[in-house]
């Protein structure tokens, strides 16, 4: 990794981090964090409900503040950075995407399950029509063989995506699996390749570095690890590591350190660490945003949250099936009687 090249960071704490704080971001928090990220020269800042545009609901978790207001707040303080939004077709609609673009969002990340890229065609097309930088986001990438991932990435490329991401939503991929996936995409698609990791198996940094080594140039991070499950690749640490490797990001390391310590740490309800529950997310291959939902279900039924997560992994439950968490918990509780 000695070759000099530029890596473009997307900071996801104001979207993925929403899961960790039960979607309770305030306008003031977003204003301060987005401004600090902009001043640190982070090129992209993602702002949405944790489950993307229109995610605020009983099923996914109700937001404290309307996400369009949060997007508008972030745009208002960003002089250099581009504000990005996430959209999961079936949750968010074209209406919300148009609203976000009108408010000044410059990037749309259209996310689907790793085998369902076909549902993204209209949304990717609209994003391009709106003049947005457009990303195809293939979630739960551990659940498909490499050949299937390549097939789905080529679909997103054909729809007009500027970048296609391998998204380790469960933090379940091992470094050699990341290597295989990024290498295969590099060989078969001509657009930019991105990687989004979670730290449930303590592999987010290792996986990210492997992805970069194999040719990924668009990388996600969350400052202070503020993200679902055990968090994402820790942005300020990643900046330091890439600097040591001679890989350019353009991000100010000291300012990111200060932001992590002075602004993000106080927001976290508890420090981000690999707990028994988040470890099980990676071990069982379960969507990282299921963590708080599983804990609530375990408390309601008086059972071990790990049992719920292991069963969800066996069932191969994916994002959008949060309603099954209570059903699984009820079943486990009944069997223990």
What is the DSSP code string of 111-162? EEETT-GGGGHHHHHHHHHTT-EEEEEEESGGGS-HHHHHHHHHHHHHHT-S
23 assigned binding-site residue? no
8-267 folds as TIM Barrel (3.20.20)
Is residue 19 among the annotated active site residues? yes
Which residues share a beta bridge with 110? 87, 136
Question: Is 4 buried (19+), middle (13-18) or exposed (0-12) by CB count in 10 A?
Answer: exposed
* Chain segment 93-115, per-residue pLDDT in tens: 999 999 999 999 999 999 999 99
Architecture of domain 289-336: Orthogonal Bundle (1.10)
Which residues share a beta bridge with 9? 219
What is residue 292's DSSP assignment?
A: H
State which residues of the chain have pLDDT below 70: 1-4, 58, 337
Chain centroid offset of residue 20 CA: 12
* Chain segment 20-42, per-residue pLDDT in tens: 999 999 999 999 999 999 999 99
User: Domain segments of the chain: what residues?
Assistant: 8-267, 289-336
162 assigned binding-site residue? no
Asked if domains 8-267 and 289-336 share a fold, the reply is no
169 assigned binding-site residue? yes
Q: Collapse the DSSP code of 11 into the 3-class scheme (helix H, G, I; strand E, B; otherwise coil) and give the result.
A: strand
123 assigned binding-site residue? no
Whole-number pLDDT of residue 4: 63
């Amino acid at each position: 990794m000695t070759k000099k090249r530029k890596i473009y960071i997307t900071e996801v704490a104001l979207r993925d981090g929403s899961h960790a704080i039960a979607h309770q971001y305030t306008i003031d928090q977003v204003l301060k964090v987005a401004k600090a990220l902009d001043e640190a020269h982070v090129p992209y800042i993602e702002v949405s409900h944790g489950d993307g545009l229109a995610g605020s609901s009983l099923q996914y978790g109700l937001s404290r503040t309307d996400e369009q207001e949060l997007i508008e707040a972030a745009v208002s303080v960003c002089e250099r950075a581009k504000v990005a939004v996430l959209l999961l077709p079936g949750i968010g609609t074209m209406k919300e995407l148009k609203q976000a673009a009108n408010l000044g969002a410059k990037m749309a990340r259209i996310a689907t399950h790793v085998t369902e890229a076909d549902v993204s065609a209209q949304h990717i097309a609209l994003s391009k029509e709106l003049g947005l930088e457009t990303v195809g986001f293939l979630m739960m990438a551990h659940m498909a063989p490499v050949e299937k991932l390549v097939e789905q990435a080529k679909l997103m490329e054909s729809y007009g995506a500027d970048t296609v991401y391998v998204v380790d939503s469960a933090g379940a991929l091992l470094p050699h699996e990341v290597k295989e996936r990024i290498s295969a995409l590099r060989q078969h698609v001509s657009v930019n390749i991105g990687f989004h990791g979670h730290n449930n198996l303590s592999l987010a940094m290792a996986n990210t570095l492997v992805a970069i080594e194999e040719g990924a140039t668009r990388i996600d991070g969350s400052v202070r690890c503020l993200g679902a499950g055990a968090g994402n690749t820790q942005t300020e640490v990643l900046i330091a590591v890439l600097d040591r490797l001679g890989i350019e990001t353009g991000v100010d390391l000291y300012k990111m350190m200060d932001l992590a310590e002075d602004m993000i740490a106080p927001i976290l309800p508890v420090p981000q660490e690999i707990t028994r529950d988040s470890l099980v997310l990676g071990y069982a291959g379960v969507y990282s945003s299921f963590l708080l939902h599983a804990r609530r279900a375990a408390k309601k039924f008086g059972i071990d949250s790990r049992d719920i997560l292991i069963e969800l992994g066996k069932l191969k439950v994916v994002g959008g099936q949060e309603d099954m968490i209570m059903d699984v918990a009820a079943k486990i509780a009944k069997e223990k009687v």
